[in-house]
């Protein structure tokens, strides 16, 4: 018995020593990130931006602080704490990280310990039975079983690589959601501020029109102006009042949207009225080649591509034999007194290999599916890069053209105000009818509102440009990500 047990032990040691050697026979395609098209420079980059401060410094950390608005800064800080969409994205990342831990467990043996006790009454009339001996038998067993599948062909390691890449992709998805939420809040904030400025303009216009109506009515009472002039002044006043109400209604929608983003009920949140008087900061876009490293959605697409590549290795391993190693040891006795003694010990060592010889093309189909899935992720990655370039070019063009339009609109406002002053003087002097005044008022108000709207659009487009550039996301946060930790995940900081 001792010789047999020693032989079994030597066999087990020999098989265990072969595992590292066999594990070197991993199969699976080598992964390298495919090149992405990158133009030498952005088409819409203004010449005066090329000498500006490097964009990595401008956008580093909490990018919204570049606007120097304390109220905006306070609202942005609340997103990481209370936004439910971001919390859901973080929970999804925790699921992906848990799946990685689950996959890693297959790299190691699984050991189980159990105990069983049976008492059996034997039949004396059973076949091959004896008429003497014990009629009742006790069987006490304490086994320790181990099951282990040596990762000979890299199936488990590729599965771990898939889970790791998926977890990293999920982490960058969190960063993408965070960037989108912060940008959406800043956009809503500046649009609310633009509407505050419009409301302020319309409030002053309503006051001005009320005075004009009083003057026209007095002139009508004195027989100087006609009733048509009074009706026209009344129409101008009511139209301005209606526009003022419409602007304030739209403003409440943005206030409610901001409340949702910071995780509070809309009924309990109030955004103080503060007209927009800011200009967009200079945001150098950097080089197009840097964009691939600065956007978390591009990093996410790249990690999904890596996961699909590793999944091809998992599919390819199905063509090779599956080895398993299942030793067992423990004690078995008929009573507690001799249960744990040396003669009651038992050892079992065994290994097996299983290979599929015919599956009607199932493995080939799985490999074709994995390869097609990889090609899909490659196309998705390339499309994400192209979309990123388009978004940057769109916002650069918008900011350049809006800057030109703002200067032109400013000149139009000055001309309209001068025309209105002339028309009012002509009307008071009895040279013209009130129709000329109302026409000049309409042009002046339209140009003034357009100027305010352009200012708001410039601020919003600057936010969208920062979002298109990745919001200062640091790709080092992905390489420094500790996927082995089981600690709760905190919301991504703006410095990541």
Structure-block tokens of residue 40? 């030498």
Flag whether pLDDT at 354 surpasses 90: no
pLDDT tens figures, 137-190: 778 888 888 888 888 888 899 999 999 999 999 999 999 999 999 999 999 999
Number of H helices, E strands in the chain: 12, 7
Handedness of CA 159, 160, 162, 167 (dihedral sign): positive
Predicted local confidence at residue 169, as pLDDT: 93
Query: Do 231 and 489 form a contact (C-beta atoms < 8 A)?
Result: no
pLDDT tens figures, 191-232: 999 999 999 999 999 999 999 999 889 988 888 888 998 999
Flag whether pLDDT at 430 surpasses 50: yes
Give the C-alpha separation, 114 to 142, whole Å.
6
CATH 1.10.20.10 fits 31-107+154-319+362-479, yes or no: no
pLDDT tens figures, 373-391: 999 999 999 999 999 999 9
Structure-block tokens of residue 116? 């069983």
Question: Which helix (H) or strand (E) segment is 125 a member of?
Answer: none
Residues with Cβ < 8 Å from 432, sequence gap 6 or more?
423, 426
Give the C-alpha separation, 432 to 425, whole Å.
9
Flag whether pLDDT at 26 surpasses 60: no
pLDDT tens figures, 221-243: 888 888 998 999 999 999 999 99
> According to DSSP H, which parts of 122-154 are helical?
none
Domain ranges of the chain: 1-28+109-124+134-150+321-354, 31-107+154-319+362-479
> Furthest-apart CA pair in the chain: how many Å?
140
Averaged pLDDT for residues 111-124: 82
Give the C-alpha separation, 384 to 390, whole Å.
10
**Confidence band of 446 (pLDDT split at 50, 70, 90):** very high
Q: What is the DSSP string of 268-292?
A: G-----------PPP-----HHHHH
Average of per-residue pLDDT values in the chain: 85
CATH 3.40.50.1820 fits 1-28+109-124+134-150+321-354, yes or no: no
pLDDT tens figures, 56-81: 555 667 899 999 999 999 999 999 99
């Amino acid at each position: 018995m001792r010789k047999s047990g020693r032989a079994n032990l030597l066999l087990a040691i020999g098989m265990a020593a072969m595992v590292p050697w066999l594990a070197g026979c991993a199969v699976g395609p080598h992964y390298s990130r495919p090149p992405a098209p990158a133009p030498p420079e952005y088409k819409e980059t203004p010449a005066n931006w090329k000498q500006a401060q490097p964009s990595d410094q401008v956008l580093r950390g909490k990018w919204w602080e570049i606007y120097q608005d304390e109220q905006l800064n306070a609202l942005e800080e609340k997103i990481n704490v209370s936004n439910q969409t971001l919390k859901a994205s973080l929970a999804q990342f925790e699921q992906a990280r848990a799946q990685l831990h689950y996959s890693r467990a297959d790299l190691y043996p699984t050991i189980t310990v159990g105990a069983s006790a049976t008492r059996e009454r034997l039949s004396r009339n059973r076949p091959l039975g004896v008429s003497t001996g014990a009629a009742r038998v006790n069987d006490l067993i304490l086994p320790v079983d181990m099951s282990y599948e040596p990762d000979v062909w890299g199936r488990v390691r590729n599965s771990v690589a898939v889970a790791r890449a998926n977890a990293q992709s999920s982490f960058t998805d969190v960063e993408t959601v965070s960037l989108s939420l912060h940008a959406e809040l800043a956009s809503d904030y500046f649009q609310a501020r633009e509407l505050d400025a419009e409301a302020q303009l319309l409030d002053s216009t309503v006051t001005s029109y009320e005075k004009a109506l009083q003057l026209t009515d007095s002139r009508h009472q004195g027989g100087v102006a006609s009733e048509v002039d009074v009706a026209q002044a009344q129409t101008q006043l009511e139209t301005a009042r209606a526009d003022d109400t419409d602007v304030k209604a739209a403003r409440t929608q943005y206030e409610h949207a901001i409340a949702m983003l910071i995780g509070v009920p809309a009924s309990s949140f109030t955004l103080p009225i503060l007209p927009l008087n800011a200009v967009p900061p200079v945001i150098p876009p950097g080089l197009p080649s840097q964009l691939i490293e600065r956007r978390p959605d591009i990093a996410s697409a790249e990690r999904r591509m890596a996961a699909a590549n590793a999944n091809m290795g998992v599919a390819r391993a199905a063509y090779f034999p599956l080895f398993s190693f299942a030793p067992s040891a423990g004690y078995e006795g008929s009573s507690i007194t001799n249960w744990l003694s040396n003669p009651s010990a038992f050892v079992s060592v065994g290994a097996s290999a299983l290979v599929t010889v015919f599956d009607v093309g199932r493995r080939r189909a799985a490999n074709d599916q994995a390869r097609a899935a990889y090609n899909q992720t490659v196309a998705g990655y390339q499309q994400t890069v192209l979309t990123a370039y388009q978004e940057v070019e769109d916002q650069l063009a918008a900011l350049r053209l809006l800057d030109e339009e703002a200067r032109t609109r400013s000149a139009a406002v000055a001309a309209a105000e001068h025309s209105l002053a002339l028309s009012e003087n002509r009307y008071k002097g009895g040279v013209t009818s009130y129709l000329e005044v109302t026409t000049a008022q309409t042009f002046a108000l339209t140009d003034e509102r357009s100027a305010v709207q352009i200012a708001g659009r410039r601020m919003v487009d600057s936010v969208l440009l920062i979002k298109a550039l990745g919001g200062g996301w640091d790709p080092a946060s992905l390489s420094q990500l500790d996927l082995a930790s089981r600690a709760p995940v905190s919301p991504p900081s703006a410095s990541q």
